[in-house]
Amino acid sequence: MRTQSEPTTISEKTLHDMYTMMIRIRKFEEKVAENIINKEITTPCHLYVGQEAIATGVCTALRRTDFVFSTHRSHGHYIAKGGDIKTLMAELYCKATGCSKGNGGSMHIAEPKTGLPGSSAIVAGTIPLSVGAAYSFFLQKKDNVSVAFFGDGAVGEGTFYESLNLASLKKLPVIFVCENNLFSTHMPITACLAGTDIYKKVETFDIPTHKIDGNDVCAVYRAALQVIEDARTGKGPAFLECTTYRWFGHVGPNYDVDKGLRSKEDLEYWMKKCPIKRLERYLIRNNLLSESKKRAIYNKIENEIEEAIAFKNNSSAPSKEQLTRSVFKE
């Protein structure tokens, strides 16, 4: 099932909130890319630029008490779920004030109080964790929802199908969100997946599916809002396949067009489909965003990022005792 957006049914406040959130994610990631190039950040970073609409649309439809489980490309999910960019920036520098106390770096972001219990660099590694959390909500008769974010590469893992099966069998409140950016590491989806309509594979598990333009934040939000409400009321899991494109390479701040992995034309095509510009054009066209308001939003976010840099500069590295404290259950 394909889902189209209808921005006119979304409140002006929500539209502005989503626009602001996408810019916050974009500007944060651009600062990270800059600091990787400057060799200030040495932890591997998988950047979310180009995919901002997916995390924003889904997380806008969630409550703070709902859980999201992320991947190695986790910054956007953490920020969209309400995470503090100061503690995220500190984490990328492995500071004790980081959201994972300096233990995780970029690929293992975790902050349960924000509703992001964990991320994993293992492909498909958090999908069964999200199902387990949903099972816990189910057994406790809570109306919380669990969300698994993952890329198209996870569809090649057996644990993905095992998780679909259990979620469907028990009608668990879990939403599977596939961020299909057309590449698994450096390999195009057509070279590693037989049958590239991923949602059709999921339909065989008797799970409602939606294929969405993942660069349309309104389409993502509307679809997420519906399936999340259904999950809360006992209707079981759902699957969202969100087509998108990451602007940077698999890891790091380079575009990789010089490596023969993708063409400059493809990259430019997807850049023209920028999710931020797409919503911005709608807001301006409908007199919902003035140039001064736009400038104020960008200025506010630039200040937030400078505050995040200052915060990490004033933070210290974790002590040996702090690094070993969370290894085992105490």
- List CB contacts of 309: < 8 A, sequence separation 6 or more: 31, 89
pLDDT in tens, 133-187: 999 999 999 999 999 999 999 999 999 999 999 999 999 999 999 999 887 777 7
pLDDT in tens, 187-212: 777 767 778 788 899 999 999 999 99
**Helices 52-60 and 217-232: angle between axes, nearest 10 degrees:** 40
pLDDT in tens, 205-254: 999 999 999 999 999 999 999 999 999 999 999 999 999 999 998 898 98
pLDDT given for residue 5 in this prediction: 54
pLDDT given for residue 187 in this prediction: 74
Average of pLDDT values for 279-293?
Answer: 96
Average of pLDDT values for 268-273?
Answer: 93
What CA–CA distance (Å, rounded) separates 148 from 68? Answer: 6
What CA–CA distance (Å, rounded) separates 169 from 7? Answer: 35
Domains defined for the chain, CATH in brackets: 2-245+264-317 (3.40.50.970)
pLDDT in tens, 313-327: 999 988 888 877 777
